[in-house]
Amino acid sequence: MKSSAIAVSGLRKTYGDKVVLDGIDFEVAAGSVFSMLGPNGAGKTTTVNVLATLATPDAGTVRVAGHDVATATKQVRAAIGVTGQFAAVDELLSGRENLQLMADLKRVRSGGRVVADLLERFDLVESADKMAATYSGGMRRKLDLAMTLVGRPRIIFLDEPTTGLDPRSRRTMWAIVRDLVAEGTTLFLTTQYLEEADQLADRIVVLDHGRLVAQGTPDELKRRLPGTHVRLRFTDRSALDAAARILPGAARDEQELILRVASDGESKSLRALLDRLDQHAVNAQEFSVHTPDLDDVFLALTGRPSTEAISQ
């Protein structure tokens, strides 16, 4: 089993009398992508701030890279990189100068080479000597992430890395994330986008009003919903009628000649379902298992649609 890069237990954080994190627990395996999903104000940035030693917890234990954030701030900081919604990019410097500044701050040896490699890797060579103020949102995020990588951190926090980016820049960012994981980096990703968590994460936690309302792999979260069902499509009405008689409780769609049967999607129940149809000599033209997507999960867990679903 992989060791934990991050271990959080009973984490609480309040601002004044507002409880922002209400006792949360989770672990992040080294070399994995862990995604914290939640709507605006759920407490995601606060979690990142605590893990990154930028805010102190009121209660609970938090270990990052094997060190306690409360007592070993320096060691934690040496192991992590943070890219956030408020980018560290200096608008008045060029991309190259921003990176060079970071390399100097971190006293990186052969900083010039490191900077050149990062510009190349993030496809920023052409704009390297232009002021960052002239960069697009996507380029700025890439520069921000490149700056984070200067010190080769083992654990990277990406706080909503693609919020506000167009689909193409978002996909570029995803490709970069996948490359980093392939190199063994651990990524803690906060996002409001279900698709992003679904695409990238090995494990997801869903945060709502400072509490974790669910955690698991993307597939586990989807399976936990009651909504998994089998769709059977028939060639004619009489076959649909016959199937509906055999499978009471199934929802029928008269126009599409479809029957939806609740199922856990496991092979045993699927076989039993098909056997029943077979015993009554009823044939379905099409047969598919529908697993709910993360939007469905979010709605079921929080009682609200996700931000992504609302904006669509």
Ligand X SMILES: Nc1ncnc2c1ncn2[C@@H]1O[C@H](COP(=O)(O)OP(=O)(O)OP(=O)(O)O)[C@@H](O)[C@H]1O
Q: Tell me the closest approach of the beta carbon of residue 28 to ligand X, in angstroms.
A: 17
Among the residue ranges 35-43, 126-134, 147-155, 166-174, the one whose residues contact ligand X (CB under 6 A): 35-43
140 binds ligand X (CB under 6 A): no
Give the SS3 label for residue 96.
Answer: helix
Question: Of 62 and 230, which CB lies nearer to ligand X in the complex structure?
Answer: 62
Among the residue ranges 40-48, 121-129, 233-241, 271-279, the one whose residues contact ligand X (CB under 6 A): 40-48
**Cα(138)–Cα(168) distance, rounded to whole angstroms?**
9
End-to-end CA distance of the chain: 39
Question: Of 189 and 273, which CB lies nearer to ligand X in the complex structure?
Answer: 189
| Residue that is written with structure tokens 């047969």 in the block | 287
Q: Tell me the closest approach of the beta carbon of residue 191 to ligand X, in angstroms.
A: 9
Q: Give which of 57, 53, 54, 49 is closest to 24, Cα–Cα.
A: 57
Sign of the C-alpha dihedral computed for residues 59, 64, 66 and 71 taken in this order: negative
Neighbours of 239 (CB within 10 A): 20
Using the rule CB under 6 A, which residue among 10, 41, 164, 226 binds ligand X?
41
| Residue that is written with structure tokens 């994995």 in the block | 32
Among the residue ranges 4-12, 42-50, 71-79, 193-201, the one whose residues contact ligand X (CB under 6 A): 42-50
194 binds ligand X (CB under 6 A): no
40 binds ligand X (CB under 6 A): yes
Using the rule CB under 6 A, which residue among 6, 20, 114, 273 binds ligand X?
20
Q: Answer yes or no: are the C-beta atoms of 142 and 172 closer than 8 Å.
A: yes
302 binds ligand X (CB under 6 A): no
Q: Tell me the closest approach of the beta carbon of residue 36 to ligand X, in angstroms.
A: 8
Question: Of 44 and 77, which CB lies nearer to ligand X in the complex structure?
Answer: 44
Q: Tell me the closest approach of the beta carbon of residue 143 to ligand X, in angstroms.
A: 21
42 binds ligand X (CB under 6 A): yes
Distant-in-sequence, close-in-space partners of 234: CB < 8 Å, separation ≥ 6: 240, 243, 257, 258, 259, 283, 284, 285
Q: Tell me the closest approach of the beta carbon of residue 211 to ligand X, in angstroms.
A: 12
Q: Answer yes or no: are the C-beta atoms of 287 and 275 closer than 8 Å.
A: no
Contacts of range 110-115, beta carbons closer than 8 Å, 24 or more positions apart: 111/150, 114/150, 115/150
- The rounded Cα 137 to chain-centroid distance in angstroms is 20
Q: Tell me the closest approach of the beta carbon of residue 111 to ligand X, in angstroms.
A: 32
15 binds ligand X (CB under 6 A): yes
- Binding positions for ligand X, rule: CB under 6 A: 15, 20, 38, 40-46, 192
